[in-house]
A = this chain, B = another copy of it.
Amino acid sequence: MTHWTLAARAAKMNPSVIREILKVTERPGIISFAGGLPSPQTFPVAEFEAACAKVLKDDPAGALQYAASEGYGPLREMVAENLGKQSAAAGMPWKVDPAQVLITTGSQQGLDLVAKILIDAGSKVLVESPTYLGAVMAFMPMEPNVVSVASDDNGVEIEDLRAKSDGARFLYVLPNFQNPTGRTMSEARRAALSAEAARSGLPLMEDNPYGDLWFDQAPAAPLTARNPEGGIYLGSFSKVLAPGLRMGFMVAPKAVYPKLLQAKQAADLHSPGFNQRMIFEVMQNGFLDRHVPTIRALYKAQRDAMLQALAQHFPATSNPDDTLTWNTPAGGMFLWARLPKGMNAVDLLPHAVDKGVAFVPGAPFYADHGDTRTMRLSFVTPSVEEIHRGVAALAAAIHAQRS
């Protein structure tokens, strides 16, 4: 009999609560507001086809051989240049050195690498309330003490941050169209957070997978642009090109880059050189400047459909505790809603699925006590027509439960 002894950290690793919840929603015909999947109609398939052919014609040996752990040089340069341009456009020049760019196997890997080099067992790690569950899952194997910072519609509240930041290894923050809430940090809050982090010496871990998906105006400049030595910036190609290539990147200061690189080398040697070249080829000649506006327009129309359907089925009441309430995300993929007082999103879910619609309960996104009335609604996967039907089904489920 083989004696398998698991590491203590394995006990901290659990199946995603959301994944388990989603299992009940996997029935044919269910309209899903639950997934976090980009709309496949936004995938630039023809451009990928052309890129594949070009990469395999121009440099098959380079694309198919072992490569540097840092990533493909021209892609690192392009990432640096694009970040610089975006920040300048947002009024905050950020000169990114390509040497500080590390290409990762999806931005999820960036979270894993950060956890490995910055978290000891018991280390305090600060997160927003609620926060992206995938980040917490990446941190957990390193056994941190995850502490929630009180947050409002603008992100973390500075006063609570100040009270909790002593000894924290970093604050993990998703300033643009956050997963799960869809909220965005204002310029004023960013300035205040950046100043407070500088004052206390707290490193910031800025995750920005959705920043390009703004609807009416680009969000304020990244936190990392304000103090490049004080934070790590995580980016992704998943939402503007496609997730199935698993390509992301991080920008890290010299204080931590070498250790991140060593962790990367030990984790998977390097991200697929073939995929890095595909992404680089597709992004040539300003492709994203033409492509991303089409994604924005699509998602904005779907957000609008969801807002319209919600307003139709849940008229405003004098007391917000009496009905479903929701926010108006200015970009991204998610909307955050809250059930009437006395209702619980986990309890509601099976009834909603019976009516033909699925969502993700919000409580699991909180590192501490979750608000059990909350839910995350994705508006990017279903069509406008499905959004209307799905919201009607959600309303029917809520009304049935309340009556």
Contact = CB atoms under 8 A, between A and B. Distances in A.
Contacts of A221: none
A7 B37 CA distance: 33
Interface stretch (A45-53, A88-96, A185-193, A383-391): A45-53
Contact of A244 (B67, B119, B203): B67
Tell me the number of copies of this protein.
2
A15 B52 contact: no
B263 A141 contact: yes
Interface centre among A16, A60, A266 (most CB of B within 10 A): A266
A36 to B, nearest CB: 8
B116 A201 contact: no
Contacts of A118: 4-7, 10
A357 interface: no
| Interface SS of chain A | helix
A117 B141 CA distance: 9
B256 A4 contact: yes
A150 interface: no
A138 interface: yes
Interface in A1-40: 1-10, 13-16, 36-38, 40
Interface string A248-274: 000001011011001101111111111
A358 to B, nearest CB: 16
Interface of A: 1-10, 13-16, 36-38, 40, 43, 45, 48-49, 52-53, 56, 60-67, 105-106, 108-109, 112, 116-120, 123, 134, 137-138, 140-142, 169, 197-198, 201-203, 227, 229-231, 238, 242-246, 253, 255-256, 258-259, 262-263, 265-275
